């Protein structure tokens, strides 16, 4: 079979999220050529384009839509813009890799997935924690039954963001971001947790905006989850824990316990065996949200390009991300209503 041709792609958005995408694409120039950089501020995209000889810059998305040579686009804009931009790209036949989240809530997220499905384009999402080696190893051990039946679990994300982070106009608001610690920061860990452990059947949550921040959305969430077999899990998410700590996912089963913390997996079996996979590290949990390696971004991008070449869904597809968007909505609804909610998201 002939090798896939080099794809011409567009980058839409030149904000904080651009860095690891750009670094990854610079290492994949044999398979993907950045043809366009699109942004609201010409000076910002012009500066980024200096690293990409041959890339053109524009503040008008129509330039990309009308370029038949561009087959895929990276959407790195704020969440509230996603549906409109993705719909226009899909209608033009462009495959989409979307920076998380899909949209500001699950209802809009479903529309993002549906519009890509309707126009027959692939939709990938940058929730890169799933493709880290330690995450893949933990999922394999859970799925294979090596850890036995789930007895309890936990997902813990104690991060830090200074007030200066939220002083940027629109950040931490429902209108632009859709949410706070859950949708903007915690979605990475929550998505990875659901992908590995699975979805609960019931939940109850408490969300709050603490004295640490002046912002509209929540910065602290605590929740209890229950699974169909009676197993329970605890969820803790905050961006008030100075200076920030590695996120942690734990699965306790009848045959052993697996703990994923900051990119390192430790598995302890009842028979005395211990496995350690990956390296302990911080993954953007401190004051600098971009303080992490771009290796996992590169893995998502490699898979996305391969999915286009072989006409298959990406491993981190839009449809596969809907459960975490629904979970976040349910957690916030439970807190607002002060009630236990049944959680049975539709199969994707």
262 pLDDT higher than 60: yes
pLDDT band at 4 (very low <50, low <70, confident <90, very high): low
| Same domain, residue pair 111 and 142 | no
| Same domain, residue pair 144 and 268 | yes
| Same domain, residue pair 201 and 332 | yes
| Same domain, residue pair 26 and 103 | yes
Domain of 116, in residue numbers: 7-128+297-317
pLDDT tens for 170-202 read 999 999 999 999 999 999 999 999 999 999 999
Q: What is the pLDDT of residue 327?
A: 98
| Same domain, residue pair 121 and 134 | no
Mean pLDDT of 142-151: 98
The CATH number of the domain holding residue 260 is 3.30.360.10
Please answer whether residues 82 and 58 qualify as being in contact, where contact means their C-beta atoms are separated by less than 8 angstroms. Answer: no
Mean pLDDT of 267-293: 82
The CATH number of the domain holding residue 66 is 3.40.50.720
Q: What is the pLDDT of residue 323?
A: 98
Mean pLDDT of 220-230: 98
In a domain, 224, yes or no: yes
In a domain, 71, yes or no: yes
Mean pLDDT of 197-216: 98
In a domain, 1, yes or no: no
280 pLDDT higher than 90: no
In a domain, 2, yes or no: no
| Same domain, residue pair 203 and 104 | no
| Same domain, residue pair 69 and 122 | yes
| Same domain, residue pair 172 and 310 | no
3 pLDDT higher than 50: no
Mean pLDDT of 205-226: 98
| Same domain, residue pair 148 and 268 | yes
Q: What is the pLDDT of residue 249?
A: 98
pLDDT band at 167 (very low <50, low <70, confident <90, very high): very high
Q: What is the pLDDT of residue 290?
A: 60
Q: What is the pLDDT of residue 1?
A: 39
In a domain, 32, yes or no: yes
| Same domain, residue pair 76 and 161 | no
More confident residue, 48 or 89: 89
Mean pLDDT of 306-329: 98
In a domain, 292, yes or no: no
Q: What angle do CA 107, 153, 206 make, to 5 degrees?
A: 50
132 pLDDT higher than 50: yes
264 pLDDT higher than 80: yes
In a domain, 348, yes or no: no
DSSP codes joined into one string, 165-213: HHTSTTTT-TTTTS-SIIIIIIHHHHHHHHHHH---SEEEEEEE--TT-
| Same domain, residue pair 78 and 135 | no
Mean pLDDT of 6-30: 92
Q: What is residue 255's DSSP assignment?
A: S
141 pLDDT higher than 70: yes
Q: What angle do CA 247, 178, 200 make, to 5 degrees?
A: 50
Average pLDDT, the chain: 94
Instruction: Name, of 11-25, 39-53, 74-88, the range with top average pLDDT.
Output: 74-88
Mean pLDDT of 239-267: 97
How far apart (Å, rounded) are the C-alpha atoms in residues 224 and 347?
Answer: 22
Total domains in the chain come to 2
48 pLDDT higher than 60: yes
At 40, list the tokens: 């609201």
Q: What is the pLDDT of residue 135?
A: 97
More confident residue, 75 or 53: 75
β-strand pairing of 95-99 with 70-75:
parallel
| Same domain, residue pair 77 and 220 | no
In a domain, 199, yes or no: yes
């Amino acid at each position: 079979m002939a090798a896939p041709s080099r794809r011409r792609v567009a980058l839409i958005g030149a904000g904080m999220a651009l860095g690891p995408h750009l670094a990854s694409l610079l290492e994949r120039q044999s398979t993907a050529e950045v043809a366009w950089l699109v942004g609201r501020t010409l000076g910002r995209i012009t500066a980024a384009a200096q690293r990409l000889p041959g890339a053109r810059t524009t503040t008008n998305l129509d330039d990309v839509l009308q370029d038949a040579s561009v087959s895929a686009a990276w959407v790195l804009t704020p969440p509230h813009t996603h549906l409109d931009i993705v719909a226009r790209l899909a209608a033009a036949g462009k495959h989409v890799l979307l920076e998380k989240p899909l949209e500001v809530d699950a209802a809009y997220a479903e529309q993002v997935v549906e519009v890509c499905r309707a126009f027959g384009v692939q939709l990938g999402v940058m929730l890169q924690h799933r493709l880290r080696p330690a995450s893949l190893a933990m999922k394999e051990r859970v799925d294979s039954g090596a850890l036995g039946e789930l007895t309890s679990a936990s997902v813990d994300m104690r991060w830090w963001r200074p007030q200066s982070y939220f002083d940027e106009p629109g950040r931490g608001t429902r209108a632009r971001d859709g949410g706070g610690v859950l949708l903007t920061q915690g979605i990475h860990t929550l998505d990875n947790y659901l992908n590995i452990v699975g979805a609960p059947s019931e939940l109850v949550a408490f969300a709050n905006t603490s004295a640490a921040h002046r912002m509209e959305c929540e910065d602290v969430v605590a929740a209890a989850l229950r699974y169909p077999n009676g197993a329970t899990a605890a969820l803790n998410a905050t961006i008030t824990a100075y200076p920030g700590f590695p996120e942690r996912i734990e699965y306790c089963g009848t045959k052993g316990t697996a703990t994923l913390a900051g990119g390192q997996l430790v598995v302890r079996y009842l028979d005395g065996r211990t496995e350690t996979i990956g390296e302990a590290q911080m993954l953007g949990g401190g004051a600098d949200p971009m303080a992490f390696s771009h290796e996992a971004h590169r893995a998502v991008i490699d898979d996305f390009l391969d999915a286009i070449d072989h006409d298959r869904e990406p491993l981190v597809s839009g449809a596969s991300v809907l459960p975490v968007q629904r979970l976040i909505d349910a957690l916030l609804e439970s807190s607002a209503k002060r009630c236990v909610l049944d959680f049975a998201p539709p199969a994707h």
